[in-house]
Structure 1
Amino acid sequence: MSQPSSASGMYRRVWHWHFYAGLICLPFIFLLALTGAAYLFHQQIDDVIYARLLLRDADARPALAPTQLIAAALRAEPGDAKAITLPEDDTHSVQVDVTQAGGTVRQVFVDPASGKVLGAIDESARVMTFVKHLHSLTVLGNGGRMVIETVAGWIIVLMLTGAYLWWPRGRRHGVISIRPGATGRNWWRDLHAVTGAFGGIVILFLALTGMPWTAVWGQQVNRWLSEHDLGAPNGMWRNLPHSTIPASALGDLPWTLQQQPLPASDDPHAEHHGHGGHHGPAAPAGVARISADQAVSTLAAAGLRQGYRLVLPQDAQAVYSAIRTPRQLAGRRVIHLDQYSGKVLMDLGADRIGAIGRVTEWGVSVHQGGEYGWINQMVMLLGCVALMLLCVSGIVVWWKRRPTGSFAPPPCRQGDRLALGAMVIAVVIGVVFPLLGASMLLAALLTARRRPSH
């Protein structure tokens, strides 16, 4: 069906944006989809790769005390105990994180009933840890996170421009099914369109729910929500002394707590800074620190189920931090204990998070395939597969259509413009996602340098 010239110009302009966004971001998009698909099943994959470390036969004997398990780990891997992870069921081992000389963290796995050390591995050497860092490009530092944030923003642009290009406009074939008898470029074009039609909503959801972890947008939104009590309740910290230890030192925390301060223990002899014998960095001389056993008993009395990671105090200010992050949002909980008195300084469960923060945490949980079991994993996996298929089909369509001797699409014609509504949408998206907005402006300047055809 022929289009009016203004509509044709709009179509060409949108197609150009779709083309450039896809071609430039395609390697990163494919990487996101591939690593994301793998990480959806990280627990199952870990249990297969590291079965001899993580799994054990069910044992009816009661578990040894945490201090005994930590001592067993330190005999095998000397250093400072950083944390102990107590499994939720009796088929998994206890994990003790040990910081060794040079800052290397060794994960030591201990049978909780016998105290037998099953083995150890460097924290950074685990396959799914590498996949996670690759997914977020943290392997490249903060700059990598900014690249991923920009790419996630362009995925949103790709979905919106793709929806515009896909819109039937009176067509019946090649919209929700591949045209009968289609071959060559037409077959690949239909595959691209149909894949986007069925997978677009899931892909858009993945892009939006991945944004909270980004370096610029995610941190700013997190800070704003906390300041307005829409994320982690800001008032929980107002009457507590704050530690100089950043929350990031605790490892994986719920998103709403990533930028919150940590409470500080009330050191009864703050002037002392001696060192005594303890599994981790010692308390000041003459000052008694509660043991990991006492901390676990206090947490049990507070109703915290096992399946949590207990981070041990690393200096005189630090606290015992119990972090329980099961795949379902409702079971997540973080408790901080004073290392001297054992007093509960903060107890934050999902039910105490502000409305927008809770919705954001829910989105992250669904994004990771954890909120609704295997169905959740399958739907997110289909989104990842659809995204990879869009990458492959998109590159084939472009290759078959590209002008001879050129890697660029045919230039727009003189007078081709975006409709006012499309420009407003682009501006709004660019303002909401600043890194995306900056890259969109740069792309607009670069494409404007190409002389339009007549």
Structure 2
Amino acid sequence: MSKTSTPMNNRPINNAPSHNERHARSKHRYFLTWRWHFYAGLFVVPFMLMLSLTGLVMLFDDEIEFSRYQSVLEVVPQNSAVAVSAQMDNVLLAYPDAKITQFVPAPSSDLANRFSITLDSGKTVFVTVNQYSGDIIGSIDRSDSWYQLANDIHGTLLLGDWGDYLIEIAASLGVILLVTGVYLWIPRDNASKAGFLKIRTTNGPRILMRDLHANIGGLLSLVLLFFFISGLAWASVWGGKFVQAWSSFPAEKWDDVPLSSQNHASMNHGSEEEMPWNLEQTLMPESHDHAAMLAAMSVTENSQDGEAADDANMNMAAKWGVDDVLAQAKTLGFSQFKVNFPRTDTGVYTLAENTMSGDITDPRLDRTTHIDQYSGRVLADVTWNEYNPMAKFMAAGIALHQGDVSVLNKIVNVLFCLAFIFIAISGGVMWWIRRPTGKKVLGAPPRFEHEGVWKVGLVTMIALSFMLPMAGGTIALVLLVDWLVINRVSKVKLALS
């Protein structure tokens, strides 16, 4: 007998699916993908509009702020400037109960220096000072910034953590929206090829809107994915608990440096993200415990000459002033930066020059340096070279995301925002055109049951739960509600069909 045998009709067994079977499976997979795209869009579209509109406001932050506060920002350049310490003294005279937290040198000779102060009420204010005369020009309420309002809406919907969670769900589902959209966009047959990279203007409004929506969305899918991923890195769960936590700079790399219980995010002012992304969760270094050293000296004071002990205490109490720190910044090679002041007796001066806060546009020049407030010793110095790959991606990505790299970058980002707004609105218009008129139903794409297709959805959901937990959890919750409620209440099932 031969090694192979055939049935009695001498035809070989062929377990491969027939052409019709493959066509049916492809069709069912298409409609499953379309349903996912439709339902994800229901949730994502309002958020996509909000993120694009607030993004436009933030892109023009400098122009908006200058138009609102030009009178307290502009100065007439002179040949010489007053020492920054004298400028700071004038600020403290005008606001005796305030605490200065930050000094922002003027980015150009015709703009004023800024001192950020915190009032007794907790309000944070920028005091602008003419660096040539030392006179105070005026003040800017940092919480009254259009940028901060747009940023708060952009990040939390003004709802705190709950708003953050909702936006993270929207961004996570946005990734699904993109993937399913690209799948629907790629040609599968002659019908789908007809509108691929083409705009059909003579086939009615539905086809026109479909071609515009699909082609613009498909061509910009990688750009939108970049915005979603870089935004998700700031979110509480995927960003804060996973990606940012794993990518944070390890403070243990600083040799023989005492660490504070405060992290770098404590230096941010309100919702303004000023510290580099990979340092926000990293603990701050501390200056020497000056109070403890003074206490130790007082114990031995009786065994010393009184005048000598007083001199020693005065030397211990001497702190590095802002002029010393600025001179050191120049020596270290800083150009456009911020100086964050110590906020406790063991706090440090922090020189920060980074793309996150818009100081510079080249992320490779990012630098954060901490200085002991008593000795002037550099305790820690973090540069681009110490960033891990994800931190480098974020540093470069944020500059692009914010349109800080160049004027062209800002113009392109404006066009992207407008395109994203169109994609969101056109999706809604497409649904409105194709919705069943006169019926109280949602008009979702039809459901086709097919053996094996549900397994694709299950595997996808499990994968999403690991990669994007908020998306996976949301889908699992929706499926649970679908099984417990929607499938058991015929009127609800009909309305959502």
Per the normalisation by structure 1, the TM-score is 0.88
Matched position secondary structure for 1:335: strand
Counterpart code for 1:308: F
Seq. identity, %: 28
Separation (CA, whole Å) in 2 of partners of 1:369 and 1:101 = 36
Among 229, 235, 239, the alignment partner of 1:214 is 235
**SS of equivalent residue, structure 1 residue 243:** strand
Q: 1:447–1:417: structure 2 CA closer, same or farther, 3 Å change rule?
A: farther
Structure 2 CA distance for partners of 1:235 and 1:246, relative to 1, 3 Å: closer
Aligned residue in 1 for 2:344: 315
**Greater length-normalized contact order (CA 8 Å, ≥ 6 residues apart):** 1
Contact 1:176 1:197 in 2 (8 A): no
Structure 2: which 5+ residue stretches go unaligned?
A: 1-19, 269-273, 296-312, 355-359, 488-492
Residue 434 (structure 2) pairs with residue 434 (structure 1): no
Judged with a 3 Å threshold, the aligned counterparts in structure 2 of structure 1 residues 222 and 322 are, in CA distance, closer, same or farther, namely same
Q: Describe the shift of the 1:363–1:416 C-alpha distance in structure 2 as closer, same or farther (beyond 3 A).
A: farther
Quick check: 1:266 aligned with 2:302?
Answer: no
Residue number among 123, 129, 132 corresponding to 1:113 in the alignment: 132
User: How far did 1:21 drift?
Assistant: 0.8
Which residue number corresponds to residue 444 of structure 1? 479
Could you tell me whether the CA contact under 8 Å between 1:106 and 1:121 is conserved in 2?
yes
Q: State the match for 1:70 in structure 2.
A: 88
Query: RMSD across aligned C-alpha pairs, in angstroms?
Result: 2.5
Q: Which residues of 2 match residues 89-108 of structure 1 at below 5 A?
A: 89-108=108-127
The one-letter code matched in structure 2 to 1:182 is N
Q: CA deviation at 1:268?
A: 3.3
Contact persistence 2:102–2:116 (CA under 8 A): yes
Q: Secondary structure at the match of 1:381?
A: helix
| Alignment equivalent of 1:376, drawn from 409, 423, 447 | 409
Residue 417 of structure 1 and its aligned partner are, at CA, apart by 6.1
Amino acid at match of 2:291: H
Counterpart-to-counterpart distance in 2, 1:182 and 1:52: 56
Matched residues in 1 for 2:339 and 2:450: separation? 64
Aligned pair in 2 of structure 1 residues 181, 431: CA closer, same or farther (>3 Å)? same
Q: 1:295 aligns with which of 325, 330, 336?
A: 325
Aligned counterparts, 1:167-316, within 5 A? 167-169=186-188, 170=190, 171-219=192-240, 220-226=242-248, 232-237=249-254, 239-251=256-268, 252-270=274-292, 287-305=317-335, 307-316=336-345
Cα 1:435/1:272, change in 2 over 3 Å: farther
Cα shift readout 1:273-314 (whole Å, capped 9, x = no counterpart): 9xxxxxxxxxx9972221111111122222212x21111111
Structure-2 separation of matches of 1:288 and 1:428: 59
TM-aligned CA distance change 1:87 to 1:25, over 3 Å = same
Structure 1 residue 260, shift from structure 2 partner = 0.3
Highest CA radius of gyration, 1 or 2? 2
Following superposition, the deviation at residue 378 of structure 1 comes to 2.8
Q: CA deviation at 1:360?
A: 2.9
- The answer on whether the counterparts of 1:322 and 1:334 sit within 8 Å (CA) in structure 2 is yes
SS at match of 2:247: helix
Distance 2:479 2:115 in 1: 52
SS in 2 for 1:113: coil
How many Å apart are 1:107 and its aligned residue? 1.0
Aligned length: 435
Q: Do 1:9 and 1:416's aligned partners in 2 also have CA atoms closer than 8 Å?
A: no
Q: Scaled by the length of structure 2, what TM-score is found?
A: 0.81
Please say if 1:49 is aligned against 2:68: yes
Which residue does the alignment assign to 1:164? 183
Q: Is the 8 Å Cα contact of residues 31 and 445 (structure 2) preserved in structure 1?
A: no
